[in-house]
Chains A and B, each alone.
Chain A
Amino acid sequence: MTSAFEYAPAPESRSVVDIAPSYGLFIDGEFTDAADGKVFKTVSPSTEEVLSEVARAGAEDVDRAVAAARRAFTSWSALPGSERAKYLFRIARIVQERSRELAVLETLDNGKPIKETRDADLPLVAAHFFYYAGWADKLGHAGFGADPKPLGVAGQVIPWNFPLLMLAWKIAPALAAGNTVVLKPAETTPLSALFFADICRQAGLPKGVVNILPGYGDAGAALVAHPGVNKVAFTGSTAVGKEIARTVAGTDKKVTLELGGKGANIVFDDAPIDQAVEGIVTGIFFNQGQVCCAGSRLLVQESIHDELLDSLKRRLSTLRLGDPLDKNTDIGAINSAEQLARISALADQGEAEGAERWSPACELPSAGYWFAPTLFTNVTQAHTVARDEIFGPVLSVLTFRTPDEAVAKANNTQYGLSAGIWTEKGSRILAVASRLRAGVVWSNTFNKFDPTSPFGGYKESGFGREGGRHGLEAYLDV
């Protein structure tokens, strides 16, 4: 679709954020170098520009951080819940005050569009702290006994797809329940967690209650295995999740895992087509498809396949890919060269296995890591692109004939995180929803999140729930 109405560049100002040339680990309320002096660079995925040099945590640093969290635990857990609540409320407010700065920072470090960090990530981060703040002095009413106790030190490892939001999902309930935290952000997106350390300082949070250890998988593994850790929370790949489950076997550590997915987005012949198209687009292209609950499999009723695909392709042609800081950008950069290579390899495999590949006309920037929105049609359950989590802007389109078949195909995966249902018939929604083996079912909508709404998977998508009353259980000794 060509148009005379060309949107002029509308970049969000970068000057709102001041990134230091280097950052340390945040242990016991202080920024400190890694014990072995190691550092790593974090780059902006849209330009490959180096944003900062960050201390890289090792096993010795994990020891120090866990010890600091252990020391802090005694007094933090003894604080009246109402006092812990006020710290969390302070954090929530400071996040709101600094949300523009944090949104720009997140976009720079992660590569996702400013539209998303501004309108989704940051509001949800603040909301999550607000929500759990209110629980801190009401734990006895949460259904886990009259006076549930915290577990101790929580070791938390988070991914790069929603860096600050995943931090919020981990830290807010942990602190509300009276635990202290050692958190390892992903190596490609350490900055927002380090800015969060500064928010903890502004909020006057007692030292050692939150410790941030930027680093790689080795630091995460050391944290998970550390005998001083009472609770492990991980969001990331299923492969690493399984490794963590093995590591904690035979210990007393409580574990929650939020892992991969291959969500089915099921469109029935009576669906509201234009809204379904929006839901499909949101389902797989939100955050470049780097979302564990992405609707990466489109299951469309065969009778409306052509009509829906025409609409979908027309819609994809309007997606704007480019500078993540531009307020009109819909599709930003892939987070890392490594992730880009993985997406490319799986897409190539889809093509090699005979699925039909399509992308809208779309110019990719020369620097940075980019992947055009991609559809695969003529896909069956036997194709790799229908089975493996791609974690990128790649949608596999399959067909079904009956609701039974739709449910059978949707459930035919080792994952069980999310699913979507599109139909105007209410009873069909409820019937299908009750038979889907998935932790979150979006009907006539997709990719909606809320701090009050439990999130987590069935089967190999992990266990435990984050969000809501349910999310407290993971951080209480129950």
Chain B
Amino acid sequence: MDAVGLEARAAALGTRSIKTTAKAYAIDLAISMVDLTTLEGADTPGKVRALGAKAVHPDPTDRTAPTTAAVCVYPDMVAAAKAAVAGSGVKVASVATAFPAGRAALGVKLADVRDAVEAGADEIDMVIDRGAFLAGDYLKVYDEITAVKAACGDARLKVIFETGELSTYDNIRRASWLGMLAGADFIKTSTGKVAVNATPANTLLMLEAVRDFRAQTGVQVGVKPAGGIRTTKDAVKFLVLVNETAGGDWLDNHWFRFGASSLLNDLLMQRQKLATGRYSGPDYVTVD
């Protein structure tokens, strides 16, 4: 990897000008790709219910707005989340494996996963053992992913690398291939809990990896940037990255997600602007 070249390419794609019909398409696509997330110590069933309602009807004033892809919660909130989105098609994703640090014995991590799956989680967002990865014990990381994958059953597995802790693009690329070879259904940048989360450059790099992986193995893997994506402008830039790197096959919420919370309101305000010609304001979207 050449860091400067990678970042330059990501920045260049960031200059695409997405207007009018293209912007309307991108906004609805982005809404449909949001994993609407709450991962707080203070999460309660009430909070999760509110979030689920928002995922199902993001814009209370406009029922044509698409639902989000999923809500993303801690394992103990999965049941509440399932109830909140029941019948809507919105998936429930649960973080697991001692999220966010991942510092626990494998048995604990697997129990965490099973707990979430048994509670009805459709998707599991696991964290890799960054300590093992940075110590060069790639086999341990690989084995944990395969074990978690087995524990997931029918749930789709997203593997979080915590790219901000892997630090270098070479590491991120290596982790991407390791994760895909171990059976990840999605590769995901971050927990949202560290200083550096999703960036255009690390997401571009992961998009290149899934593109190349499919070319070599025929297996398609999804990508989920998470953390730090807050505005419509940001989200559209990521969609441009998808479009011009992995290609149109990934422009679907089965293959690309945004791990975000505040992003959704900005998408909705921009959507209202496109519909009415007026700039919207925070009073016209929900605080949940």
Contacts from A to B (Cβ < 8 Å): 1-10, 115, 119, 272, 274-275, 278-279, 310, 318, 327-328, 424, 444-445
Q: Could you tell me if B243 and A278 are in contact, using CB atoms closer than 8 angstroms?
A: no
Q: Is B234 an interface residue (CB 8 A)?
A: no
Q: Could you tell me if B251 and A5 are in contact, using CB atoms closer than 8 angstroms?
A: yes
Given contacts A275-B2, A279-B5, contact A3 B247 (CB under 8 A): yes
Residue in A1, A8, A275 whose beta carbon sits within 8 Å of that of B5 in the complex: A275
Within 8 A of A (CB), among B94-132: none
Q: Could you tell me if A444 and B251 are in contact, using CB atoms closer than 8 angstroms?
A: no
Measured CB to CB, the nearest residue on chain A to B169 is A272
Measured CB to CB, the nearest residue on chain A to B8 is A278
Q: Could you tell me if A274 and B251 are in contact, using CB atoms closer than 8 angstroms?
A: no
Which residues in B have their C-beta under 8 angstroms from that of A445?
2, 4-5
Q: Is B20 an interface residue (CB 8 A)?
A: yes
Q: Could you tell me if B248 and A2 are in contact, using CB atoms closer than 8 angstroms?
A: yes
Measured CB to CB, the nearest residue on chain A to B7 is A275
Measured CB to CB, the nearest residue on chain A to B5 is A275
B2 to chain A, nearest CB (A): 4
Within 8 A of A (CB), among B188-217: 208, 215
The CA-CA distance from A424 to B251 in the complex, in Å, is 32
Q: Could you tell me if B247 and A275 are in contact, using CB atoms closer than 8 angstroms?
A: no
Measured CB to CB, the nearest residue on chain B to A318 is B244
Q: Could you tell me if A275 and B1 are in contact, using CB atoms closer than 8 angstroms?
A: yes
Residue in A3, A7, A272 whose beta carbon sits within 8 Å of that of B251 in the complex: A3
* Secondary structure class of chain A's binding surface, majority of residues: loop
Q: Which of B21-29, B36-44, B60-68 contacts A (4 or more CB under 8 A)?
A: B21-29
Within 8 A of A (CB), among B1-58: 1-2, 4-6, 8-9, 15-23, 25-26, 29
Q: A6-B22, A6-B25 are in contact. List 13 more A-B contacts (CB 8 A).
A: A1-B248, A3-B251, A5-B240, A6-B21, A7-B17, A8-B18, A8-B22, A272-B5, A278-B9, A310-B215, A327-B17, A444-B2, A445-B2
B163 to chain A, nearest CB (A): 17
Q: Could you tell me if A8 and B2 are in contact, using CB atoms closer than 8 angstroms?
A: no
Of all A-B residue pairs in the complex, the 10 with the closest CB atoms, nearest first, are: A3-B248, A275-B5, A10-B17, A327-B17, A8-B22, A275-B2, A272-B2, A8-B20, A5-B243, A1-B247
A373 to chain B, nearest CB (A): 15
Q: Could you tell me if B15 and A327 are in contact, using CB atoms closer than 8 angstroms?
A: yes
Q: Could you tell me if A8 and B19 are in contact, using CB atoms closer than 8 angstroms?
A: yes
The CA-CA distance from A183 to B99 in the complex, in Å, is 67
The CA-CA distance from A318 to B246 in the complex, in Å, is 11
Residue in A7, A115, A274, A424 whose beta carbon sits within 8 Å of that of B22 in the complex: A7
The CA-CA distance from A9 to B248 in the complex, in Å, is 19
A412 to chain B, nearest CB (A): 27
Which residues in B have their C-beta under 8 angstroms from that of A310?
215
A29 to chain B, nearest CB (A): 39
Q: Is B264 an interface residue (CB 8 A)?
A: no
Residue in B9, B17, B247, B251 whose beta carbon sits within 8 Å of that of A328 in the complex: B17
Q: Could you tell me if B2 and A4 are in contact, using CB atoms closer than 8 angstroms?
A: no
Residue in B5, B215, B243 whose beta carbon sits within 8 Å of that of A3 in the complex: B243
Q: Could you tell me if A274 and B208 are in contact, using CB atoms closer than 8 angstroms?
A: yes
Measured CB to CB, the nearest residue on chain B to A319 is B244
Which residues in B have their C-beta under 8 angstroms from that of A6?
21-22, 25
Q: Could you tell me if B23 and A8 are in contact, using CB atoms closer than 8 angstroms?
A: yes
Q: Could you tell me if A8 and B21 are in contact, using CB atoms closer than 8 angstroms?
A: yes
Which residues in A have their C-beta under 8 angstroms from that of B16?
7, 327-328
Measured CB to CB, the nearest residue on chain A to B247 is A1
The CA-CA distance from A119 to B11 in the complex, in Å, is 12
Q: Is B239 an interface residue (CB 8 A)?
A: yes
Q: Could you tell me if B5 and A278 are in contact, using CB atoms closer than 8 angstroms?
A: yes
Which residues in A have their C-beta under 8 angstroms from that of B248?
1-5
The CA-CA distance from A275 to B208 in the complex, in Å, is 11
The CA-CA distance from A10 to B23 in the complex, in Å, is 11
A196 to chain B, nearest CB (A): 26
Which residues in A have their C-beta under 8 angstroms from that of B215?
310
The CA-CA distance from A304 to B240 in the complex, in Å, is 28
Measured CB to CB, the nearest residue on chain A to B9 is A278
Within 8 A of A (CB), among B250-264: 251
B231 to chain A, nearest CB (A): 19
Which residues in B have their C-beta under 8 angstroms from that of A274?
5-6, 9, 208
Which residues in A have their C-beta under 8 angstroms from that of B208?
274
The CA-CA distance from A279 to B243 in the complex, in Å, is 20
A324 to chain B, nearest CB (A): 14
Which residues in B have their C-beta under 8 angstroms from that of A115?
15
Which residues in B have their C-beta under 8 angstroms from that of A275?
1-2, 5-6, 9
Measured CB to CB, the nearest residue on chain A to B6 is A275
Which residues in B have their C-beta under 8 angstroms from that of A3?
243, 247-248, 251
Given contacts A10-B17, A10-B19, contact A5 B5 (CB under 8 A): no
The CA-CA distance from A363 to B181 in the complex, in Å, is 39
Which residues in B have their C-beta under 8 angstroms from that of A444?
2, 4-5
The CA-CA distance from A318 to B8 in the complex, in Å, is 17
Which residues in A have their C-beta under 8 angstroms from that of B251?
3-5
Measured CB to CB, the nearest residue on chain B to A1 is B247
Measured CB to CB, the nearest residue on chain A to B13 is A318
Could you say which of B5, B243, B244 has the most chain A C-beta atoms within 10 Å of its C-beta? B5
The CA-CA distance from A310 to B239 in the complex, in Å, is 23
A73 to chain B, nearest CB (A): 43
The CA-CA distance from A343 to B215 in the complex, in Å, is 34
Given contacts A1-B247, A275-B9, contact A119 B15 (CB under 8 A): yes
Which residues in A have their C-beta under 8 angstroms from that of B6?
274-275
The CA-CA distance from A328 to B25 in the complex, in Å, is 17
